[in-house]
Structure 1
């Protein structure tokens, strides 16, 4: 059974253009992200766009020996489906490159749970009911379910955000399962969408070596340094379709 992590990356983000190529601790945010994913022990695939502006992402991934799939900028569902089909995946983990400190060990554990369930219509995530800080999000589902969404999803929000068709259970066949953190830490933002998000991530990496820490250890740092966590606490998460 072929399992793969597909991460979506582009340079044309509206709030902070080229954010994944910004650097902290001498490495790009995308490098930190891919470093963390590879620690899962699972194959990693980069799904980017056909835009020339994303050639730098292709070069970075190629320099690391990672496969790249290029597709539509806005129909991200087709981009994921195409990547899964090209690499003959049976199980897909969806993540996004604005999570430079994502925890590969958490992903590996989630995949073990998914495989043990032996259910092609399971959707397993840690963001159905948010208790994790933003920035550690993952979704696990079968390629069969992804291909079904690719064939039938018609709403713009379903195409752009990949998985709404799945977790809204538009087929009536999906079984949803949420992975929760023991405490509600959803107020923390360890994701990259604004300049203040970047400042927090830069300080976490350069002052606290967060790129070497687990999700639990990063939460401990934020708990112990409330002024640090306050840097981006005012940032409003973009809503689907905006």
Structure 2
């Protein structure tokens, strides 16, 4: 592959989340969670594209993006695979970093290191992620893959779960020629939730941002903070992550 690849971060966002409606438009520290999320991703130096839906419910997300001059793409609500493929085509990406907008404290250095590892491998068939095996806290997840593999998945994937969740066709290696690579984290903290899915998640994130300046902390500092304050980690420790297909 050529070195001058155009790699972009595509983050999915919608207002019709079921467990915590319009969660990315809620605020902490005077800023919407989506703004915290995109701000941190911008520190990677990569372009960031918000992939939302054509539903009127998501007009406020589009308005926020337009106000903050964040590139946006609108596509299907349920066929998120086609939405990502559409975003990649529209913005002429050669490779995609997939993240989700319910990660307002995602660490840009963690993402950037993953992208550099993917580049160094120089393999169009490589799917690289830090969550094939859980070693990071939830809320730090990313996936990197070529546009070619994304477009192939969009053309061939037929299972509902593959289309709703974008990447199972790749990380389950349904084509048979995808190379999988997991980036692990030696520091620990995989038991922690720094993701926004429920009201208790929101309570924790709001406290971390407003009382501990968490929006300025990296992943290791966030883990150290939760290690030092088990009462904070307990706020959402009981939450079970939704399973694939739920």
TM-score tier after normalising by the smaller chain length: over 0.9
Q: 1:224 & 1:184 partners in 2: Cα distance?
A: 13
Provide TM-score, normalisation by structure 2.
0.97
Aligned positions of 1:91-106 closer than 5 A: 91-106=95-110
Q: Distance in 2 between matches of 1:120 and 1:146?
A: 11
Residues 13-51 of structure 1 show CA distances to partners (whole Å, capped at 9, x for unaligned) of 000001101111000110100111101110000000000
After superposition, the C-alpha distances for 1:86-137 in whole angstroms (9 at most, x for unaligned) are: 1110010000000000011111111111111110010110000001000000
1: distance between equivalents of 2:156 and 2:14? 25
SS at match of 1:217: helix
Tell me what 1:173 maps to. 177
Give the aligned partner of residue 70 of structure 1: 74
1:32-51 equivalences under 5 Å are: 32-51=36-55
1:166-205 superposed matches below 5 A: 166-205=170-209
* Bigger mean CA offset, 176-185 vs 189-198: 176-185
> Residue 127 in 1 paired to residue 128 in 2?
no
Partners in 1 of 2:112 and 2:95 — Cα distance? 12
**Deviant stretches of 4+, over 4 Å:** none
Residue 149 of structure 1 is matched in structure 2 by 153
CA distance in 2, matches of 1:117, 1:62: 35
Q: TM-score, normalised by structure 1?
A: 0.99
Mapped partners of 2:94, 2:165: distance in 1: 20
Secondary structure of the 1:211 match is helix
Shift of 1:186: 1.5
Aligned Cα root-mean-square deviation (Å): 0.6
8 A contact 2:187–2:220 mirrored in 1? no
> Match of 1:105, SS?
helix
Distance 2:25 2:91 in 1: 26
Following the alignment from structure 2 to structure 1, what is the Cα–Cα distance between the partners of residues 245 and 236? 22
> Distance between the aligned counterparts of 2:66 and 2:125, measured in 1?
33
1:236 and 2:240 equivalent?
A: yes
Task: Give, in whole Å, the separation in 1 of the partners of 2:28 and 2:200.
Answer: 14
Residue of structure 2 equivalent to 1:213: 217
1:30 maps onto 2:30 in alignment: no
Q: Give the distance between the partners of 2:243 and 2:187, measured in 1 at CA.
A: 24
Tell me how many residue pairs correspond in the alignment. 242
- Are residue 90 (structure 1) and residue 94 (structure 2) matched? yes
CA distance in 2, matches of 1:199, 1:53: 24
Shift of 1:143: 0.3
The reply to whether residue 160 of structure 1 matches residue 164 of structure 2 is yes
Question: C-alpha distance in 2, partners of 1:189/1:226?
Answer: 12
Structure 2: give runs of 5+ residues left out of the alignment: none
SS state of the match for residue 234, structure 2? helix
* Residue in structure 2 matched with residue 113 of structure 1 by the alignment: 117
